[in-house]
């Protein structure tokens, strides 16, 4: 009798767990996932999200449809706040916004309505390792000319707190004592490109992995010049362009660049779900993202568009965000005076 009861219990357990697994795997069948991009169409964030929408569904059980929606404003802060406060934590909506806001949260940036540590991270397809570009029409063709310039160079950014543009320019301005006038409020890199080409601004910055594709014709023709890199090591295709860290003349200036630019670069192009998203659904999306970035067709499309891939796992992203809240108070205070 005991054997019969035990066998029956085992069968019930098998069916229970099999049913639970089936429910988990079938959740996304017939569903639509939204990626809320915090920048305008035509820019790097938008391009990566649309690539994911085409390739990621095949790695999600149930093969859901993925659509991309743009929610511009405040350098993607509007989108980040929306994901944290408004989006349902059902695994059907995640955001693509500047993860550098975690850095700004520590320093008390106004308008941040989230705790970055509570986002459920999916990961990132690329890191926002930047290059700084100036137009030939600006009259500044290299760093020597820029450092000697008598009038400020007009640099476009998307908005206060946006790591890939605003924060990078402000830190570089302070660390290298460059003459810069910041023109803020652009909705994305596409608008900044147009502003530079029309002469409204002299230049701008964002991730080289997408800049080299989006601005390819202008760079190859020489109407746009790459004058500075804000990375620890040179990009392979920019071996002769100087590094900002090498131009810093004091230990404090070097530390500002390291902490203010190098450290948060891996979390900038964040993909994140709202707090409270069920763990099993989050894990499916995290795994699907890492499978997608290894997909041959995805890689081929990225290479054709000249979009560099440097994946970041959800675990790596969380570790980096948590680490930001443990940074030295003195350097954070200095950065706060620079950024706000």
Q: How far apart are CA 262 and CA 232, in angstroms?
A: 7
Once rounded to an integer, what is the mean pLDDT over residues 20-41?
83
| Edge-to-edge strand ranges of the sheet holding 224-229 | 180-183, 153-156, 203-207, 130-135, 224-229
CB atoms within 10 A of CB 69: 11
| Edge-to-edge strand ranges of the sheet holding 93-98 | 65-70, 32-37, 93-98, 269-273, 120-123
Closest CA to 158 of 97, 232, 81: 97
Boundary residue ending a domain (217, 238, 263): 263
- The CB-side HSE value for 205 (13 A sphere, CA atoms) comes to 30
User: Is pLDDT of 281 > 50?
Assistant: yes
If phi over 0 gives left and psi between -120 and 50 gives alpha, with beta otherwise, what is residue 255? alpha
User: Is pLDDT of 21 > 70?
Assistant: no
Which pLDDT value is given to residue 307? Answer: 86
Once rounded to an integer, what is the mean pLDDT over residues 227-249?
96
Q: Is residue 299 part of a domain?
A: yes
At 100, list the tokens.
């550098």
Q: What's the domain count of the chain?
A: 2
Q: Is residue 71 part of a domain?
A: yes
Which pLDDT value is given to residue 24? Answer: 54
Whole-structure pTM value = 0.80
User: Is pLDDT of 163 > 80?
Assistant: no
User: Is pLDDT of 22 > 60?
Assistant: no
Predicted confidence (pLDDT) per residue in 66-97, tens digit: 999 999 998 899 999 999 999 999 999 999 99
The CATH number given to whatever domain includes residue 31 is 3.40.190.150
- Whether residue 306 is found in the same domain as residue 332: yes
Q: Is residue 16 part of a domain?
A: yes
DSSP H or E stretch at residue 290: helix 279-292
**Mean pLDDT value across the chain:** 91
Predicted confidence (pLDDT) per residue in 198-233, tens digit: 999 999 999 898 899 889 999 999 999 999 999 999
- Whether residue 135 is found in the same domain as residue 248: yes
The CATH number given to whatever domain includes residue 212 is 3.40.190.10
- Whether residue 214 is found in the same domain as residue 270: no
Predicted confidence (pLDDT) per residue in 111-158, tens digit: 999 999 999 999 999 888 899 999 999 999 999 999 999 999 999 998
Boundary residue ending a domain (231, 263, 295): 263
């Amino acid at each position: 009798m005991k054997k019969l009861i035990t066998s029956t219990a085992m069968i019930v357990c098998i069916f229970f767990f099999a049913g639970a697994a089936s429910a988990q795997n079938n959740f996304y069948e017939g569903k639509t996932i939204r990626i809320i991009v915090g920048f305008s169409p035509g820019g790097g964030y938008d391009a990566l999200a649309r690539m994911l929408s085409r390739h990621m569904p095949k790695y999600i059980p149930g093969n859901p449809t993925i659509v991309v929606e743009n929610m511009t404003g405040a350098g993607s802060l509007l989108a980040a706040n929306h994901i944290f406060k408004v989006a349902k934590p059902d695994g059907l909506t995640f955001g693509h916004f500047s993860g550098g806001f975690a850095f700004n949260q520590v320093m008390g940036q106004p308008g941040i309505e989230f705790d970055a540590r509570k986002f459920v991270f999916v990961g990132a397809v690329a890191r926002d390792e930047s290059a700084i570009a100036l137009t030939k029409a600006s009259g500044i063709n290299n760093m020597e000319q820029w450092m000697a310039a008598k009038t400020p160079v007009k640099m476009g950014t998307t908005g206060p707190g946006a790591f890939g543009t605003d924060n990078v320019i402000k830190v570089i301005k302070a660390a290298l004592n460059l003459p810069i006038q910041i023109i803020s409020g652009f909705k994305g890199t596409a608008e900044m490109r147009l502003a530079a080409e029309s002469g409204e601004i002299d230049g701008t910055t964002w991730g080289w992995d997408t800049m080299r594709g989006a601005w390819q014709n202008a760079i190859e023709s020489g109407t746009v010049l790459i004058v500075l890199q804000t990375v620890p090591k040179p990009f392979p295709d920019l071996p002769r362009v100087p590094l900002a860290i090498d131009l810093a003349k004091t230990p404090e200036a070097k530390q500002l660049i390291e902490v203010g630019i190098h450290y948060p670069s891996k979390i900038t192009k964040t993909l994140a779900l709202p707090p409270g998203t069920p763990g099993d659904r989050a894990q499916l999306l995290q795994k699907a993202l890492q499978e997608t970035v290894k997909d041959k067709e995805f890689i081929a499309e990225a290479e054709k568009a000249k979009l560099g891939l440097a994946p970041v796992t959800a675990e790596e992203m969380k570790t980096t965000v948590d680490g930001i809240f443990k940074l030295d108070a003195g350097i954070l205070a200095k950065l706060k005076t620079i950024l706000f």
